[in-house]
Amino acid sequence: METLIGIACNDFVILASDMTHVNSLFVLKNDEDKLYRISKKLIMTVTGEAGDTVQFAEYIAKNIQLYKMRNGYELSPKAAATYTRRNLAEYLRSRTPYNVNLMLGGYDEKEGASLYLIDYLASMIQVPFTTNGYGGLITLSILDRYYKPDLTEDGAYNLILKCVQEIHKRLVLNLPNFKVTVVNKDGIKNLPDITPRTEPICN
């Protein structure tokens, strides 16, 4: 029932995730943060089993930080995605697999902005935009229609807002709030949360 939305443009990656935490048929909270800061220019958003998402995200984040301390430099988005996929694949073949789907986005001086989609079977692909969850059934066509690699941050935010408004309109599930984060050459910053009352940013 969770929904993730990711867009990679020329100079930045923007990720959005719903903030709803549910257990069976019950909504427990509407302010859950599903975005994890992995490094200064790397973010990850995870969906799946509640315990698995937090444990796996923190495991990856701490090990990437350990790599930086040991070697003196941070992993690029591609290297971090490959490391994450390998760990997910190893746990998949153990007795304690992680049931998680995730998006990993980041910015690197050489690689630029990049976005990776990794599913619970440890399949990985680099994509210009992607969605995950029931909301993705509605929003993928909107992203395909309006996505451009030269979008500004405001333009990408408005595109995600358009997707969320369609989710509010058409999805029977209640996903009122979405957290939005962008990563670029200057690092990671939070953009205003998207709620049913959010208005588009005027350029």
Cα separation, 43 vs 190, in Å, equals 11
Task: Please name the amino acid found at residue 140.
Answer: L
For the cut 80, the answer to whether the pLDDT of residue 156 exceeds it is yes
Is residue 53 a contact partner of residue 47, using CB atoms and an 8 Å limit? Answer: yes
Instruction: Give the chain's radius of gyration (CA, Å).
Output: 16
| pLDDT tens per residue, range 53-108 | 999 999 999 999 999 999 988 899 999 999 999 999 999 999 999 999 999 999 99
Residue 69 CB-density burial (10 A; 0-12 exposed, 13-18 middle, 19+ buried): exposed
pLDDT, tens only, 6-33:
999 999 999 999 988 877 778 888 888 8
101 in Cβ contact with 48 (< 8 Å): yes
Phi-psi group of 24: left, alpha or beta (phi > 0 → left; psi -120 to 50 → alpha; rest → beta): left
Q: Is 144 exposed, middle or buried (0-12, 13-18, 19+ CB in 10 A)?
A: exposed
Question: What pLDDT sits at residue 203?
Answer: 61
| Residue 125: count of CB within 10 angstroms of its CB | 12
- Collapsing DSSP to helix, strand or coil, 60 comes out as helix
